Chain A
Amino acid sequence: MYDVAVIGCGIIGANVANLLSRCDLRLVVLEKENDVSMGTTRANSAIIHAGYDPEPGTDMARLNVRGNELTRKQCEAYHVSYKQIGSLVLAFDEADEKTVEKLYANGCANGVPGLKILSREEVLKMEPNLSPEVRTALYAPSAGIVAPWELCFALAEAAVKNGCEMRFNSPVEKIEVIEGGYRLTTPTGSVDAKVVVNAAGVEADQVTGLVAAPSFTTQPNKGEYYLLDKSQGETVHHVIFQCPNKDGKGVLVSPTVHGNLIVGPNASPCERGDTATTPEGMAFVRKMAVKSVPGVSFRDNIRNFAGVRANSTASDFVIEETKPGFITLGAIKSPGLSSAPAIAEDALKLIGRTLVLKEKPEYVDSREVTVFRHLTPEQKAEAVRKNPLYGRVICRCETVTEGEIVDALHGVLPPHTIDGVKRRCNAGMGRCQGGFCGPRVHEIIARELGMDPKDVLKDKAGSVIIIGETKGGTL
């Protein structure tokens, strides 16, 4: 019997698994998809919020501010792409100015460091490409940008290095109460565990529903985005928000950690798992973005995507022991990514009611990774001398080498798909969107993992790329 089974390996599940793996416990993570970070974690604004949005006194307020600090430390320890660039909330009229003042007061009450209300002149000096219509802005220096999938992957990888088991393609279909714990049934077999942590994201209410009446219902809500070419990455230098409204934090314009410009999202109710972009959603994003930054160059778009938020009937995050030893981490809407490590701390306290959590004398809390494009010329020369595969550039847009891809494929949490390689190494994330490197990455995956090229998928189950061989024939 496992001590703890974590359901779901998005940013919440990965954080919980990561913390638990430092303790002397038998752990398993059950992930319904074929890789980590496949839900909301991979498709969101990628912002680590400062924490002025939530109402003081809520879990969200406390966890956001704490999570902001913890995320920064995690990114440092695991060498995850993160930049503390600060955020601006722009006010365009009197009502907005009142909102900005309210957010400032919230933030002070929540303990957000360094908040300041800037004058029009100050904000335009910081960001000359903003609309001259701006009147004031709330500046929050502790806001940051991150690669959420990379952080999720790094946390999960460390958990695995510390002995946590990871089972993919394992959606939990049935939960039974057994003596001393729970039995979870999945298509890949059943798992018995003393404690279950439900971190199933948008599906968290349904998973809890397998064992008890959930206290909330997820109301999935879609956000659509534009991702612009790196040539546009310096359009702004902070996360540029508009004033929040009832649907969320509104359309933002921000650099990404990879140097692109991200623009979005809208907010529209949707079915679970509906990540299709729509003409209406994209038109809305374009219309709203130019209100903040009139010169956003949508002709330099390289990709549109959409993610689903786990909005819900609950006003706060749901962090509860639903039944003895069954912990629900649900309704994790924005600022869920920013709060994730702090949510995991809360979860551990709840787990501590059932299990004795004793830290292991030794555990891995670091990550070694070679990112060729970040090296100096001397370091690059040295890397190629040690391993000639670092001298072969596969993804020309992002300068990703065969060495990095091979490293990932032989890591403790290897990708099996083209998009899995993309999330770990950045190959295919650039302006040609894998047009050149896709077939080469495909070949490397098949070669290194001993797979038939026909079995190499683009992404989720069913995303077949090649359907057979071309006609044969003799010369």
Chain B
Amino acid sequence: MTKIYDVIIIGGGPAGLAAAEAAYNNGAKDVLILERDQTLGGILNQCIHNGFGLHYFKEELSGPEYAGRFIELVNKTNVEVQTDTMVLDITPEREIHAVNGQKGYQILKSRSIVLCMGCRERTRGAISIPGTRPAGVFTAGAAQRYVNIEGYQVGKRVVILGSGDIGLIMARRMTLEGAKVLACVEVMPYSGGLTRNIVQCLHDFNIPLYLSHTVTKIEGEGRVERVTVQEVDANRNPIPGTEMIFDCDTLLLSVGLIPENELTRAAGIQIDRRTNGPVVYENMETSMPGVFAAGNVVHVHDLVDYVTAEAQKAGAAAAKYAIAGEPEPSRHITVKNGNAVTYTVPSCIRMENIDKSAEILFRVNRVCGASVIQVMSGETRIAGFKRERLAPGEMEKIILPRVLLDKAGEEITIAIEEA
């Protein structure tokens, strides 16, 4: 007879590791992690800078150290791990088709599944930068892999497009490796990264940040030779006459991350066009019963600490599902995004799964000053949360106690009211 796992976790990065540990600690007996890379840890393995774990461990760790803490925890359990294993398909019957050089082609069965595939970087194509197509145009993450894992330098004179966190981290990393980072260019009027990274990776190294600017031309035949940077207007169209030419051999792109949901889509799981991740309920369950999701595969997080917290929630819920199945349905509350809010996770709260409170994560679509996060049910204000400042680069979280949710109707809206 084919073995039936309690929980199979797809992806052994920070989300997968935390989900596995939580599933195990919540009573799941047969837990399996499927990881496509040769080692556990995911993208953290190439993030050798510090700053991870400040919230979760109250310590400042490097990426590999943070991953290492969870790998150790998982190693203490009897959670099975298959590395170098690619999941090719999740069928609507929840069978997992995976391939691995040693074990061959496997069809695995599980009572519940947690999707933890992470995200990928947007590329040059996504923003259609005109010009030639030479070597020397890298996504920031690909360059990070060459430098930190493979041990190779990818360029000497660098322009960075996009002020996402990986781009900022790579501005500092390339500088420390002896490269000259000429500019960081951001199309929006604000940075997409964490304030601490702007300070520590750009300001501390005198790297200029050009807000409301973009790269409008790449030149060079074999290798990048120069790029043109232009200011953009309010509609993000380049303004003629503002051209700046940078002689450089490298253009790094840090222009956004996209949750990696090919398996999710193929399985027929509902996708949220706002996040490009699956639509999830309060306990991270997707539209397919027994299939949960956590981490950057759902929505792109700013800090790994929050990925961990979300994955623990998903892992625990997956274990509960494997053991007890779905609870009796009760009242549902749809969560909508209002003024200045890009998306919310979850997009629906099922009250049968709420003990004390529900967490709602979201991002704003512009920089807001002193504000109140208003939670409205129709015309009724359910709750309000004050913030000094809100920025698109930083994820926001509010916690709604059950007593307040009980007062809400079928729908609540999260909206920003600026002072």
Binding site for B on A (CB under 8 A): 226-227, 231, 275-279, 282, 298-299, 301-305, 377, 380-381, 384-385, 388-393, 396-397, 399, 431-436, 438-439, 442-443, 453-454, 457-471
Contacts and interface: CB of A to CB of B under 8 A. Distances in A.
A444 to B, nearest CB: 12
B101 A384 contact: yes
Greatest chain B CB density within 10 A among A377, A435, A465, A471 is at A435
22 contacts: A226-B128, A276-B131, A301-B125, A303-B124, A304-B128, A377-B107, A380-B105, A381-B104, A384-B99, A390-B101, A391-B84, A391-B100, A391-B101, A391-B102, A435-B120, A435-B123, A439-B142, A439-B149, A460-B222, A464-B135, A464-B222, A467-B249
Nearest to B88: A399
Contacts of B121: 432, 435
A436 B149 CA distance: 13
Nearest to A439: B145
Majority DSSP secondary structure for residues of A touching B: mixed
B270 to A, nearest CB: 15
A220 to B, nearest CB: 15
Contact of A467 (B123, B134, B155, B221): B155
Contacts of B102: 388, 391
Given A305-B133, A380-B99, 17 more contacts: A276-B130, A303-B125, A388-B102, A391-B84, A397-B262, A399-B86, A432-B123, A453-B150, A458-B135, A460-B222, A463-B222, A465-B135, A467-B153, A467-B156, A468-B152, A469-B153, A470-B151
B223 interface: yes
A384 B86 CA distance: 13
Nearest to A231: B265
Contacts of B142: 434-436, 438-439
Given A302-B125, A392-B84, A470-B153, A464 B223 contact: yes
Contacts of A282: 128, 130
B104 A385 contact: yes
Contact of A302 (B36, B97, B123, B139): B123
A435 B141 contact: yes
A337 B43 CA distance: 43
Given A384-B101, A436-B120, A463-B222, A396 B130 contact: no
B130 A278 contact: yes
B154 A467 contact: yes
B403 interface: no
Contact of B120 (A298, A301, A432): A432
B123 A462 contact: no
A276 B132 contact: yes
Greatest chain B CB density within 10 A among A276, A390, A431, A470 is at A470
A278 B219 CA distance: 11
Contacts of B222: 457, 459-464
Nearest to B145: A439
Nearest to A389: B101
Contacts of A299: 126
Interface in B53-86: 84, 86
B223 A462 contact: yes
A301 B126 CA distance: 5
B178 interface: yes
Greatest chain B CB density within 10 A among A277, A439, A442, A462 is at A439
A305 B128 CA distance: 10
B72 to A, nearest CB: 21
Interface string B192-226: 00000000000000000000000010010111000
Contacts of B155: 467
A463 B121 CA distance: 22
Nearest to B250: A467
A393 B99 contact: yes
Contact of B97 (A377, A457, A470): A377
B180 to A, nearest CB: 13
Given A275-B132, A277-B130, A304-B125, A466 B216 contact: no
Contacts of A459: 133, 135, 222
Contacts of A390: 99, 101
B154 A469 contact: no
Nearest to B97: A377
B56 to A, nearest CB: 27
Contact of B152 (A275, A381, A433, A453): A453
Greatest chain A CB density within 10 A among B86, B88, B128 is at B128
